Amino acid sequence: MTQAIYTQQALSRGKLNTLTTATSTDATFKDEQTAAQAELHKHLETQAQAVAPIQDPLTSRDRRIIGEIIKVEPESVRTIWIEDGISVWVQFVDGGRLPFDRDWFANRVQQVKATLPETPRERNERLYEELSIACNKFGIQMGQVDWLSFSTRLYRDKQCIGLVGCNQQSLWYARRTQLGCNQFAHTAEIAVASLGVRVAVAA
């Protein structure tokens, strides 16, 4: 109400400059207040993440194993923990919990792991980790990975040194050129070494 009266008085007196200055000052103040509020929210989110980081300790494979053991959907498992070295507790997304004997649970995990097939994503993650270790050892870089066939080009000093991948029979292969002959190996490290690279030496 006060602002409307002020506006009418300012126009009736012909003091348009006063009105423009007051309006721009109010807008600047509101912009600064909005920016400060956004910065405060961002700071609080950062602090909350530092105190309680949102990181899922269970992989999708872990959830599949637990789901198979206790006969529930894997997506319903939130987390597990061991209490007093005796019990394994499984907590569900809906808030429920179930306790199990630690030794029984550990034996069941081993049994289920041995029979549970690896998903394509899990296979790719395992192969990527193995190849990353080999590349770090030889001081070379990977190009973009073709996840369907799990293959990639390898580079040293921005020069392509060859192609490496892993087939469906879990044999690693490497070749120096796109149309070259594959050289097969049982590990990523041996496949990378077959391209003629040597282990990187620290200077």
Which stretch, 55-59, 134-138, 194-198, has highest mean pLDDT?
Answer: 134-138
Instruction: Write out the chain in H/E/C secondary structure.
Output: CHHHHHHHHHHHHCCHHHHHHHHHHHHHHHHHHHHHHHHHHHHHHHHHHHHCCCCCCCCHHHHHHHHHHHCCCHHHEEEEEEECCCEEEEEECCCCEEEEEHHHHHHHHHHHHHHCCCCHHHHHHHHHHHHHHHHHHHCCEECCCECCCCEEEEEECCEEEEEEEECCCCCEEEECCCCCCCEEECCHHHHHHCCCCCCCCCC
pLDDT average, residue stretch 36-57: 66
Place of tokens 């789901």: 67
Confidence bin at 56 (pLDDT 50/70/90): low
Confidence bin at 12 (pLDDT 50/70/90): very low
Q: How far apart are CA 74 and CA 141, in angstroms?
A: 36
pLDDT of 165 above 60? yes
pLDDT average, residue stretch 1-12: 44
Provide the pLDDT for residue 45: 67
Q: How far apart are CA 142 and CA 129, in angstroms?
A: 12
User: What percentage of residues in the chain have a pLDDT greater than 70?
Assistant: 77
pLDDT average, residue stretch 147-160: 92
pLDDT, one tens digit per residue, over 71-92 is 999 999 999 999 888 999 999 9
Q: What is the pTM of this model?
A: 0.52
pLDDT of 13 above 60? no
pLDDT, one tens digit per residue, over 92-112 is 999 899 999 999 999 999 999
